[in-house]
Amino acid sequence: MRSTTPVFRIAVLLVTGVIGISSQVSAEETTGEVFISSRETPTVRAIRRASPSVVNLHGQKTVRTTAAGMAGATGPESFKHVNGMGTGVIVDPRGYVITNYHVVEDVEKIFVTLADGREVTAELVAARVRNDLALVKIQSTEALPTIPRGTSEDLMVGESVIAIGNAFGYVHTSTQGIISALHRDVPVNEKQEYRDLIQTSAGINPGNSGGPLLNIDGEIIGINVAVRVGAQQIAFAIPIDQVIDTVTSMVEQFNDSRLATGVRTDGGPREGDGVTIVDVSASSPAKGNGLKPGDRVVRVGSQEINDRLDYVLALLEINPDDALDIEVERSGERFQVAVQPNRVMSRAEQVAQTAWDVIGIRTQTVSEPNMRRMNYRMKTKYQGGLHISEVRKGSPAERQGIMSGDVLLGIHGWQTTSLTDLAGILEHPDMQDGPRAKFYLVRREQTLFGHMNLAAQTGTLRR
């Protein structure tokens, strides 16, 4: 049987003999003409321009390894650690990198190798699974080179393109091809489908995911994402305008969960499109500082604002407790204001406040050691509970006889092992009509229960 393992033959040319020094004078020296090499093509210049901002992403993830892939398989042989590798592009000098989500999915720790060979770590900032895009931030104290950004709006079938990536682990591999087609929809599975992709003949292989597709000017026009298995020279990239729109949207959503500026903005995905204020909330700090719809944002902190991605990344750097220094342009004049954003409560804070408002309790999760001790004494196997530290006077909890020091185990048939569990219960549609919900708690090694109406009906604890 012949082996199917490819054999790589590397030819080494050895030059033997005596090296001499030539006394000949070049033609350029005698004629004075300047020689311009035709080897430095537009492709060479494009790769040279973009390469410093292309990075290698790698890390370890855990995957199932059961032979049949059966759900529920157990034992030490069911999972294994594998090394994943992909590519990313630096889009902001502070170290923000765009890549595919599947490159960093479930990676325990993200390592990044820069173009100059240095290795640093990064953390996931935001991701959108259905679009297969993610934003990570490199831990760096110095400004990093960013990818020149083009547009995917005016692409032409047949124009030359270049892909850069870590193909099969060979870092900074460059390949060239053309745009074969535009607006391709590529189904992946029942849950995911790529839409409006660029099809290219440039060589894209495993490891290229998340890397740039460049035009001949060295500007990024897409993020390489997929190849057609079993085919040659059929590969796909997400158009850069779509990428920037998606990444901007997911960062904006993250910002809204931590900052309340009262300002709504608009702007295009391309550099130079700018950012314009389209709405200012009447009760917001921004309104009080004189910002108006139509103002063009030109700077946030020390960051110049050229497009919406610049704007949302600048807000990402703002501490919720700090004032937001913003400079705007209006009628040709610039002025600067300091806006103090309203602090947005975290998810945990929101749940805690809801528990206090609706039930009338303040809680904290019972630690694992304490839960084990409680189970040992009571000969039970409760998975967890919420220790009640305070009960509001006149609340439904007080009327049911709940006391500080009790451990809440469950409500309405659902366990309350954490604040997340409690949030799910309070937000469940079955609870919206205010049913009489049976609850369980532990007090001095005794399990008690009662029926509590979250609309504040009376009830009693029973043993």
Residue 102 designated active-site: yes
Could you say which of 53, 58, 92, 132 is catalytic? Answer: 132
Contact assessment for residue 137 and residue 131, using Cβ atoms and an 8 Å cutoff:
no
Could you say which of 53, 174, 209, 418 is catalytic? Answer: 209
Spatial separation of the C-alpha atoms in residues 144 and 146, rounded to whole Å: 6
Residue 389 designated active-site: no
Residue 310 designated active-site: no
Q: Which residues share a beta bridge with 60? A: 83
Could you say which of 53, 58, 92, 102 is catalytic? Answer: 102
Q: Which residues contact 250 (CB under 8 A, 6 or more apart)?
A: 126, 127, 128, 133, 135
Q: Which residues contact 367 (CB under 8 A, 6 or more apart)?
A: none
Q: Which residues contact 143 (CB under 8 A, 6 or more apart)?
A: 93, 94
Decide: residue 245, CB within 10 A, 0-12 exposed, 13-18 middle, 19+ buried: middle
Pick the closest to residue 124 from 88, 175, 70, 177 (CA basis): 88
Spatial separation of the C-alpha atoms in residues 47 and 45, rounded to whole Å: 6
3-state secondary structure of 187: strand
Contact assessment for residue 404 and residue 391, using Cβ atoms and an 8 Å cutoff:
yes
Question: Catalytic site residues?
Answer: 102, 132, 209
